[in-house]
Amino acid sequence: MRYHADATKLKRWREERNWSQEHLASLAGVGVRTIQRIENGDPTSADTLSALAATYNVDVSSITSETPTSKGRVTRKNLAGLRFAFWIHFASYAFCMIVFLAIGVSSGDLFVMLEPALWWFVGLAGHGLAVAIVTLAFRYQQEQE
């Protein structure tokens, strides 16, 4: 899988250290042409990113500018994570509605927490709509393959 490094950041770090591309390449154990490609914004491998991160003593995530180049594709794992997040959201909504009801009963006004409950429902509905759209996109993507 190919990844995009943050070319501007890597070049800036190299220049701040007064390193040539050749010097960086030898420290990272990669070719000079690889460094040139990365600084021009071309995608690179995870191994190369790991080597550069180790050279700069940083985490790989700090030198990547985006997710893998398969960006825009819905995977089964992504969809499962989105659905799981929705159910967590739904469970917290249900729990808090019970808490809101208790607040309303204790205050003597059952509708005191109506506005926050409605806005939370709007957020939950938006989350549900996002799950539905991503599910449809995943199914369409599966049909196209």
Reported as a single tens digit per residue, the pLDDT across 101-124 is: 999 999 999 899 999 999 999 999
Q: Note the pLDDT of residue 71.
A: 54
Domain ranges (residues) in the chain: 2-62, 76-144
Average pLDDT value for the chain? 90
**Nearest partner of 130 among 141, 120, 122, 119, judged by Cα:** 122
Q: Which residue type, as a one-letter code, is found at position 4?
A: H
**Nearest partner of 37 among 21, 50, 58, 17, judged by Cα:** 21
Has this prediction a pTM greater than 0.85? no
Structure-block tokens of residue 41: 């914004």
Task: State which CATH number among 1.10.260.40, 1.10.645.10, 1.10.10.10, 3.40.1380.10 fits the domain covering 2-62.
Answer: 1.10.260.40
What is the C-alpha to C-alpha distance for residues 70 and 75, in angstroms, rounded to an integer?
A: 10
Q: Note the pLDDT of residue 66.
A: 56
Please, what's the b/e burial string for 5-23 (b: 16 or more CB within 10 A of its CB; e: otherwise)?
A: bbbeebbebbeeeebebee
